[in-house]
Amino acid sequence: MKFAHKLTRAIVLPLCVALSAGGTWSIHRNFQVALDTAARTNSADQMEQRYALENDLAAVQGDSANQIYTLLCTYEQEQRTLGRGERTFAVFGENGTVLYSNLSGTILYREQQRALAAGEDRVLYVNTETADYQLLSTPLRGLSRPLWLLNVYDISAQFAERDRQVRQHLFLEAVALLLAGTAAVLVARLLTRPLKRLETVSTALSQGETSVRAELHSGDELEHLGQTFNHMADSLDRQMQALREESARQKRFVAAFTHELKTTMTAMLGYADLLRKGEQSPEKQHKAAGYIYQESGRLESLSRELLLLLGLEQGGVALEPVRLSAVWGDVIRSLPDLASRLVTAGEEKTLRANRALLVTLLRNLVLNAAAADTEQGTIRLWCAKRAGTLCLGVSDTGPGIPAEELERLREPFYRLDKSRSRQNGGNGLGLTICEAIARAHGTTLQMESEPGKGTVVWITAEEAEPCR
């Protein structure tokens, strides 16, 4: 069942019950009040007649049925004379004997006896085809024999009024339900329109249309739901974009890695084949073996660096306070051939970092700088504050890097000068590893370069309390 139908039922069905119960209760109350009012009026009338009859009967000498009948006939005659001839009543003696009655035949004797048996505290009703009657009975007191007076009053008007109210209520009920039903259908459609829009959008999303959005302006919870839905769609779009980029990056990595292996392996195969033929001079044999040895070492170094890169991408690097002088010392000691070209600049600081990784980062940057600067220029290891942030980096006075190449340098196996770089023992993963280390420290690698003037590469660093 559709939600709009449920909503319509939820409005209309309770309304049915409420209208019907409320109307019935109201009709019942009105009818009760009308019957009570009639009973009070008729009681007062009956009492007036009772007192008069008691006075008359008390004065009569003798109490035979004939005498009573005669007196009651006289009484009724007097009443008619006084213009009170409308009273219909009966007087009963012991055992329900009828002593006098002017009741019409529609009130059966059985009903009359039932009214007497009910006593003076109850009011009985008789419904005939032509009229509805109220029966009141009361004993006549102070007489020598027990007598009962039964009065019958026509209350057809009260019953007719009740029936009229029932008919009127049924008509109003039908009109109210028609109006309420129409309103409920309209409201249900209005309320479910945003849901239909959401359904359309989610269907489109499931079919890959990530650009569609739910434009809801209902100003209520559904609008909020639409906004949340749109945020979810945005997030999904971003994640899919990131996945696409990651997929492309991995494809490029695999392609570059395959090329790297293929180039090295092709050369090694060539030299190995040369050695296998065994007709080369000792110098050539030595050169071939040396090349194979050197390339094997490079492949071994490549595998180590790949392991390091994988480890960094998996995260979980422990940071601790590290003195800057210690880091610089480690870098300089690991590069004895470049010690004469290295200069440090900056105050002593304590950084929050992983010492070994930070040393690897700076060492790679220094090696890149040394490889780039063929003029044997000075390489500066520096630390300074820039715009209130502590920065740590390496500067060289080499030929610099073209602006369009700067971003691509971070990609694995990307080299500015491919042949020379490989000859220097580089495998194209240096800056990729540096970028990964920087990310592990919560920052990124920043590069500034101007052709002919050199390159500056740095990261921001978090200062820590000095070590004890």
Partner 1 sequence: MQIKQYKHLGLAAVTGICLLSLALPLFYRNWGSGQLSRQGTLRPETPGMLSDAAQEHQLIYALYRNRFAVQTALELPGDAQQIKEELQTKTESLADAGALPDLVARRARWILEQPAQETACKSENGFAGATYLIKQEEAPGSCWISACWQENTGVVVSYSVTEDAAVQNLEHYLEAYRNYLGVEELTDWQAGTRKREAWAWSQAGQLSLFCCRQGSGFLLGAVSQAEPRADWLEA
Q: How far is the CB of 186 from partner 1 (least distance, A)?
A: 20
Contact call for residue 166 and partner 1 (CB under 8 A): yes
Query: Considering the complex, what minimum distance in angstroms separates the CB of residue 57 from partner 1?
Result: 10
Please identify which residue in 7, 19, 185, 204 interacts with partner 1, judged by CB under 8 A: 19
Q: Under the criterion CB under 8 A, does residue 48 sit at the interface with partner 1? A: yes
Strand partners, 394: 381, 457
Min. distance of Cβ 103 from partner 1 in angstroms?
A: 17
Q: Of the candidates 89, 99, 107, 169, which one interacts with partner 1 according to CB under 8 A?
A: 169
The 65-84 contact track toward partner 1, x by CB under 8 A, reads --------------------
Q: Which of 76, 98, 143, 159 binds partner 1 (CB under 8 A)?
A: 159
Calpha distance 297→300 (Å, rounded): 5
Per the structure block, which two tokens stand in for 424?
């220097």
Choice from 72, 162, 188, 455 touching partner 1 (CB under 8 A): 162
Maximum separation of any 2 CA atoms in the chain, in Å: 174
Are 391 and 384 within 8 A, CB to CB?
A: yes
Contact stretch for partner 1 (CB under 8 A) within 13-21, 242-250, 414-422, 423-431: 13-21
Residue choice 125, 175, 284, 290 for contact with partner 1 (CB under 8 A):
125
Amino acid in the structure at residue 222: L
Measured CA to CA in angstroms, residue 186 lies from 11, 12, 16, 192 at distances of: 12, 12, 18, 10
CB of 395 closer than 8 Å to CB of 365? no
**Interaction of residue 279 with partner 1, rule CB under 8 A:** no
b/e map of 391-407 (b: 16 or more CB within 10 Å)?
A: bbbbbbbbbbbeeeeee
| 296-300-287 Cα angle (round to 5) | 20
* Secondary structure, 3-state, 135-201: EEEEEECCCCCCEEEEEEEECHHHHHHHHHHHHHHHHHHHHHHHHHHHHHHHHHHHHHHHHHHHHHH
Q: Which residues contact 331 (CB under 8 A, 6 or more apart)?
A: 342, 359, 362, 363, 366, 381
Specify the stretch interacting with partner 1 by CB under 8 A; choose among 29-37, 186-194, 273-281, 395-403: 29-37
Judged by CB under 8 A, the residue of 40, 385, 408, 453 near partner 1 is 40
Q: Give whichever of 127 and 280 is closer to partner 1, judged by the CB atom.
A: 127
Side chain identity at residue 362, one-letter code: L
Task: Please tell me the total number of residues recorded for the chain in this structure.
Answer: 468
- Closest approach, Cβ 441 to partner 1, in A, equals 57
Binding residue for partner 1, selected from 76, 161, 173, 448, defined by CB under 8 A = 173
Q: What is the CA radius of gyration of the chain?
A: 56
Given CA atoms 196, 200, 203, 209 in this order, what sign does their dihedral have? negative
Closest CB to partner 1 among residues 171, 293:
171
Q: Please give the single-letter amino acid code of residue 420.
A: R
Nearer to partner 1, 118 or 306 (CB): 118
Q: Is residue 182 a contact residue for partner 1 (CB under 8 A)?
A: no
- Number of chain residues interacting with partner 1 (CB under 8 A): 49
Q: How far is the CB of 222 from partner 1 (least distance, A)?
A: 25
Contacts 24+ apart (CB under 8 A), 218-223: 218/194, 222/191, 222/194, 222/195, 223/194
Q: Find the binder of partner 1 among 4, 116, 124, 358 (CB under 8 A).
A: 124
Q: Is 387 in the site for partner 1 (CB under 8 A)?
A: no
Rule CB under 8 A: say whether 257 interacts with partner 1.
no
Shortest distance, CB of residue 2 to partner 1, whole angstroms? Answer: 13
Applying CB under 8 A, the residues found at the interface with partner 1 are 1, 9, 13-14, 16-17, 19-21, 23-24, 27-28, 31, 35-36, 39-40, 43-44, 47-48, 51-52, 54-55, 58-59, 118, 120-127, 135-136, 141-142, 159, 162-163, 166, 169-170, 173, 177
